[in-house]
Amino acid sequence: MSIAKKEYKRITIKSLVEMKKRGEKISMLTAYDFTMAKIVDKSGIDVVLVGDSASNVMAGHETTVPITLDQMIYHATSVVRAITRALVVVDLPFGSYQSDPKGALKSAIRIMKESGGHAVKMEGGKEIKESIKRILNAGIPVMGHLGLTPQSIYKFGTYTVRAKEEEEANKLKEDALLLEKIGCFAIVLEKVPAKLAQEVAESLTIPIIGIGAGGGVDGQVLVTHDMLGMTHEFNPRFLRRYLDMDNEMNLAFKRYIDDVKSSDFPNESEQY
């Protein structure tokens, strides 16, 4: 059954909860720069995530660990300038919120003031509860992130599916409940069994946005560069590619090179 899409002038955290109530799925994609954010926003996406995946996609790092708060603010500022409709959520990067609640609030305030983003996203549950509460108390909306939390990759050791065992699944359910209770407006669930993700989505009133978490949740998020086929080294089962941009861009670049070499470009009408 398809649910009619409601037209929103601007997506707010309230619109997302309304969408869940109405059974309308939430769409979310990443953006890290002005031009991509403008295209993504124009397409009618609900949420744009300035993800710390910028560390991989933009900077070529192996993990999300190295990206800094200043770099996230730079990306978020560029994205916010392009957005007219979507809700912009900005990742708090590794090291900017784990030490203590005061430091976490300072980082979140910098993101909100300097970039103009609408909300922050933080990885973790019970362990970072006090920091989340402090940020929420300052009036900053927080999106949680549970399951595979890439900032903890060195603790996990691998990027495989999380919470397959009962103990970890129970902890995830407790953490999700806790995040809702303290006031997070949504949670990203990354790479967990579909059955577990659906159970969490059905037991909470806030939206659950999945990546590799099956279709039983309230929305989906993908990394834009992955779904456009601009990256090829990353091939998880959950990734659907909507374009082969790597190939398309390569062909365009090759044609340009040929045109320059053969003096076909520029022609008479392409000069002054």
Which residues are part of the catalytic machinery? 190
140 or 213: whose CB is closer to ligand KIV? 213
- Please give the helix or strand (H or E) that residue 176 lies within, else none: helix 166-182
Helix (H, G, I), strand (E, B) or coil at 253: helix
Place of tokens 């009962």: 166
223 binds ligand KIV (CB under 6 A): yes
- Distance between CA atoms of residues 213 and 154, nearest Å: 22
Among 53, 78, 107, 151, binds ligand KIV (CB under 6 A): 53
- Distance between CA atoms of residues 214 and 255, nearest Å: 40
Give the shortest CB-255-to-ligand KIV separation in angstroms. 32
In 10 A of CB 79, how many CB atoms? 29
CB 49 within 8 A of CB 66: no
- Distance between CA atoms of residues 96 and 140, nearest Å: 15
Q: How many binding residues for ligand KIV (CB under 6 A)?
A: 11
88 binds ligand KIV (CB under 6 A): no
Give the shortest CB-47-to-ligand KIV separation in angstroms. 10
Q: Of residues 55-74, which lie at the interface with ligand KIV (CB under 6 A)?
A: none
Q: Of residues 121-180, which lie at the interface with ligand KIV (CB under 6 A)?
A: none
Q: Of residues 89-128, which lie at the interface with ligand KIV (CB under 6 A)?
A: 91
CB 125 within 8 A of CB 149: no
46 binds ligand KIV (CB under 6 A): no
1 or 16: whose CB is closer to ligand KIV? 16
For residue 76, how many C-alpha atoms fall within 13 Å in the half-sphere facing its CB?
Answer: 31
**Region of 47-55, 134-142, 158-166, 261-269 interacting with ligand KIV (CB under 6 A):** 47-55
Among 13, 87, 188, 213, binds ligand KIV (CB under 6 A): 188
154 or 272: whose CB is closer to ligand KIV? 154
Q: Strands, E, within 168-224: which ranges?
A: 186-190, 208-211, 219-222
52 binds ligand KIV (CB under 6 A): yes
24 or 52: whose CB is closer to ligand KIV? 52
CB 123 within 8 A of CB 166: no
What is the widest separation between alpha-carbon atoms in the chain?
Answer: 70
Give the shortest CB-39-to-ligand KIV separation in angstroms. 17
Cis peptide before 266 (omega within 30 of 0): yes
6 or 13: whose CB is closer to ligand KIV? 13
192 binds ligand KIV (CB under 6 A): no
**Region of 48-56, 71-79, 232-240, 257-265 interacting with ligand KIV (CB under 6 A):** 48-56
Give CA torsion, residues 41, 186, 11, 111, to 10 deg: -70
Residues near ligand KIV (CB under 6 A)? 30, 49, 51-53, 91, 188, 190, 211, 221, 223
